[in-house]
Structure 1
């Protein structure tokens, strides 16, 4: 009773007044999950201790060679490319200029500010 709403990465989980929550229900999927947890206990502890579930701690997979394009090719595409990886060396022409990246302090995601 009186469960609260928690938001996790923009998703909210809540209940309606007549909700029923079963802890450790006696169903087949629950037993399979318990077996999986016992088998992968070491992996689960590593993920929890290193916080690998946090997006800030995740590494980006290398793209396939067929996905690698020159920047000039991307700029000349007729289609809109939503996201892509760039491998580059960055040089700041004027070292006295400041470079800023506005991000959420909690999850390090870009805030989309100019």
Structure 2
């Protein structure tokens, strides 16, 4: 994971989104759960997961730094002209897929290895 965190510093225009994504994943969420999150799932402190592996809703308390990063990411989206609605996806994705998230983690590891 240290390599993934380091690799985030090497990213370009998707750095804030990818950093927020890694912060969310670091709380033990599955990629499929992240894809289902919408803006209304985040109340500033917690993530609400309506559908989990156990079919039970779940609240995930976020660490202080993760809350800050996610709030900054949402603020950036608003600054770029997006009017956020609680039903909009929490993480903007080109494909909104597990594959994209998996590839992000893999590319982060590769970039960190290449950097060393």
Q: What is the TM-score with the length of structure 2 in the denominator?
A: 0.20
Greater Rg by CA: 1
- Higher-RCO chain (CA-CA 8 Å, sequence separation at least 6): 2
Output the TM-score relative to the length of structure 1. 0.21
